[in-house]
C-alpha cells in the first residue's frame, strides 16, 4: 500500500516536472520568437520546425513552451491570491461571534454558488486582460472555497481540548493560531490548494479559449486550441499538442494532491 501511494505521488510529480521544465526552459531559450511568422503556414513537423507551425506560420514548439510558462504563472498566482484571501477570511470567520460567523458562512455559500469561470470573466471584463489580471480573477473566484474550508477546519480545531488547555494556561489567541491552529489545518489546506491549482489551469485555458486570457504575443494553450480548431483536420498536431500538455499538467497536479492527501491523512493510510 505504501508503494502504491508513493508511486502516485512520484508519477504526479514527474508529470508536473515535464511542464515545469518546459516553462523554465522558455525563460532562457526558445527555438523562435513567439511572434515570428516566417515559418510558413501549417508547416509539417520536421526541420527546422520540430512540431511544425500554426496557421500564421508561428513555431508550434515555441508557443507550447511559452504556454507552459503562462499556465504555471497563472495557476500559481491564482493559488497564492486565493490562499491569502481565503485563509485570512476563514481564520477571521472562525474566531468571530456566532451571528457574524453565520453571516460570513452564508456569504461564502452565495459566492461559491457562482461558477469560478463566470466570476473570473466578470473581473477580466472590468480590467485589461493580462497574466496578472487573469491570475487575480481566478484567485478571487477560488478564495471563497478556501475560506469556507479554512473556517470549517478552524472551528473543528478550536473545539479540541488542547485549545481549551492552552487558553486556560494563559496563551494569547495569536499564539494559539500560530502554534496550534495553523499546524493542524495546513495539511488539509495544502491538499485543497493543490487541487485548486489544477482548476486554475483549466480556468485559464477556458478564458483564453474565449478570448479573455493573456493577449498576444503571450501564448496560451487555450488560445492555441481555439486557433487550431479550424485546421484540426488538416493539421491536427496544433490542437492535439496543447490539449495533451493541458491534460498532463492537470492530471499530474491531481495525482500530487492525492499523494499529499495520503501523507496528510493517517486515516486514509490505514484504510488503504
As a whole number of angstroms, the distance between CA 121 and CA 187 comes to: 31
Quote the DSSP letter at residue 177: I
CATH (residue range 2-27+56-271): 1.10.3720.10
Domains of the chain, by residue range, sit at 2-27+56-271
Closest CA to 222 of 231, 212, 233, 235: 212
pLDDT band at 4 (very low <50, low <70, confident <90, very high): low
Q: Tell me whether residue 222 is exposed, middle or buried, using C-beta atoms within 10 angstroms of its C-beta: 0 to 12, 13 to 18, 19 or more.
A: buried
* All three cell numbers of 249: 499538467
Helix (H) or strand (E) holding 215, with range, is none
pLDDT band at 106 (very low <50, low <70, confident <90, very high): confident
As a whole number of angstroms, the distance between CA 239 and CA 231 comes to: 8
Q: What percent of the chain clears pLDDT 70, i.e. is strictly above it?
A: 95
* All three cell numbers of 46: 520536421
As a whole number of angstroms, the distance between CA 21 and CA 147 comes to: 32
pLDDT in tens, 176-212: 888 888 888 988 999 999 999 999 999 999 999 988 8
pLDDT in tens, 228-260: 988 888 889 999 999 999 999 999 999 999 888
Half-sphere exposure at residue 201, Cβ-oriented, CA atoms within 13 angstroms? 28
Amino acid at each position: 500500500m505504501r508503494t502504491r501511494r508513493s508511486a502516485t505521488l512520484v508519477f504526479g510529480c514527474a508529470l508536473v516536472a515535464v511542464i515545469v521544465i518546459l516553462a523554465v526552459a522558455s525563460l532562457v531559450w526558445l527555438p523562435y520568437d513567439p511572434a515570428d511568422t516566417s515559418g510558413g503556414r501549417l508547416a509539417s513537423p520536421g526541420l527546422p520546425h520540430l512540431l511544425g507551425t500554426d496557421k500564421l506560420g508561428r513555431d508550434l514548439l515555441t508557443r507550447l513552451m511559452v504556454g507552459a510558462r503562462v499556465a504555471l504563472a497563472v495557476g500559481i498566482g491564482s493559488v497564492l491570491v486565493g490562499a491569502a484571501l481565503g485563509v485570512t477570511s476563514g481564520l477571521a470567520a472562525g474566531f468571530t461571534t456566532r451571528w457574524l460567523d453565520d453571516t460570513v458562512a452564508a456569504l461564502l455559500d452565495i459566492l461559491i454558488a457562482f461558477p469560478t469561470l463566470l466570476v473570473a470573466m466578470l473581473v477580466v471584463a472590468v480590467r485589461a486582460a493580462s497574466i496578472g489580471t487573469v491570475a487575480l480573477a481566478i484567485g478571487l473566484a477560488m478564495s471563497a472555497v478556501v475560506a469556507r474550508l479554512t473556517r470549517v477546519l478552524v472551528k473543528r480545531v478550536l473545539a479540541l481540548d488542547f485549545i481549551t488547555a492552552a487558553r486556560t494556561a494563559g496563551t494569547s489567541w495569536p499564539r494559539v493560531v500560530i502554534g496550534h491552529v495553523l499546524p493542524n489545518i495546513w495539511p488539509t489546506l495544502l491538499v485543497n490548494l493543490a487541487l485548486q491549482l489544477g482548476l486554475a489551469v483549466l480556468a485559464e485555458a477556458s478564458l483564453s479559449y474565449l478570448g479573455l486570457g493573456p493577449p498576444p504575443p503571450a501564448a496560451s494553450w487555450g488560445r492555441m486550441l481555439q486557433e487550431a480548431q479550424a485546421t484540426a483536420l488538416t493539421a491536427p498536431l496544433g490542437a492535439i499538442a496543447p490539449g495533451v500538455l493541458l491534460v498532463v499538467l492537470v492530471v499530474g497536479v491531481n495525482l500530487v494532491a492525492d499523494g499529499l492527501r495520503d501523507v496528510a491523512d493517517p486515516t486514509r493510510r490505514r484504510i488503504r
